[in-house]
Amino acid sequence: MGNEALIQLFRDHPGEYVSGAKMSEALNVSRTAIWKAIKKLEGAGYEFEASTKLGYRLLFEPDPWSADLIQAALATRTFGRTLTIEGEVTSTQDLARTAAEQGAPEGYLVIAERQQSGRGRMGRSWVSPYGKGIWMSMVLRPEVPIHCAPQLTLLAAVALCRSLRRVTGLPIGIKWPNDLLVGGRKISGILLESAAEDERLKYIVAGIGISVNLAEADYPEEMLEKAVSLRVAGGRVLNRTEMIADFLMEWEQLYGLFIKEGFRPIATLWESMAVSLGRKVKLTTPQGELTGVPESLDDSGAIRVRRDDGSLVTIFSAEMGEPLASR
């Protein structure tokens, strides 16, 4: 039995339960074969509601995409102009890095339906179930010194925030350096990994994770307080192809601005979308913990934090906690 026939049966009964007997009769296979096919579809991102009495009801199916569909939607010059879509991968970062080492051009993009070991910042893992998100990595080859790499992370966050606000209409904000939040919960993350040679960047692999159509059940219980998908936050399913096309356009334009005019215009945009300025937080740095009020970005992309004693410190790398209650 092809799964397509089973999916079609559900599509023919939108919003309705289809009984096991009906499915097995229509497709001429056993009830066990139907059950196995449903499990397989669930692994591919489909969601069903099961009822012992009534059978199954289709709740969600992943939006189909392909390299051709995405290419056709793109209006960029280089970003995503060469791209590959994979099914399951370890991490798109691994594939893009291999491609970069082999000479892939700037803008080369790897997208996957699922990551078995998606990576986040600070050695964390990244939840990347099949068919529900945008898990992608792009090769950048900017001709800038290595110390500019953090600025490119902030640039990606600005581009993503602008694009996601436009596409979803949700009040998305940036938490330093590059987490995108809705109502305090994370909807997207950015991970830049770079390779350098003689103080210059050889290439950057920019990893973007957008939790688009995940259901609450896709997250481990302990993450639900801190993470949310755009589908859950906004109450509607989004089209991933349109989102990629919009974001790549925004990203390419801001990248062009950065190459021409440097980091200042990007920093100003970042500050206007930041949710982490002006509120007291705890910062965990490689050197230890401190509390203070983040005030602004400096020209390198580091954050300036006002301590209780009035002094200003510049933080280059840290984990920023939730705002502390002011007393």
List contacts with ligand BTN (CB under 6 A). 91-93, 115, 118-121, 124, 126, 135-137, 179, 189-191, 207-209
In whole angstroms, the minimum distance from the beta carbon of 186 to ligand BTN comes to 7
- Name the one residue in this structure whose structure tokens are 């982490």: 276
The residue type of 126 is W
Which of 240, 324, 223, 241 lies closest to 280, judged by CA?
324
Q: Which is nearer to ligand BTN, 23 or 227 (CB)?
A: 227
C-beta separation of 211 from 41 below 8 A: no
Q: Which is nearer to ligand BTN, 212 or 315 (CB)?
A: 212
Q: Which is nearer to ligand BTN, 37 or 233 (CB)?
A: 233
Q: Which is nearer to ligand BTN, 122 or 217 (CB)?
A: 122
In whole angstroms, the minimum distance from the beta carbon of 126 to ligand BTN comes to 4
Q: Which is nearer to ligand BTN, 45 or 118 (CB)?
A: 118
Helix intervals (H) in 183-316: 230-234, 240-261, 264-273
Q: Examine residue 142 and say whether the peptide bond preceding it is cis (omega within 30 degrees of 0).
A: no
In whole angstroms, the minimum distance from the beta carbon of 95 to ligand BTN comes to 9
Give Cα 38 distance to the centre of its chain.
27
In whole angstroms, the minimum distance from the beta carbon of 205 to ligand BTN comes to 8
Beta bridge partners of 119: 125
In whole angstroms, the minimum distance from the beta carbon of 10 to ligand BTN comes to 30
List the Cα angle 86/92/96 in 5-degree steps: 100
List the Cα angle 190/195/200 in 5-degree steps: 110
Q: How far apart are the first and last CA of the chain?
A: 65
In whole angstroms, the minimum distance from the beta carbon of 56 to ligand BTN comes to 31
The 3-class secondary structure across 30-43, one letter per residue, is CHHHHHHHHHHHHH
Q: Which is nearer to ligand BTN, 227 or 267 (CB)?
A: 227
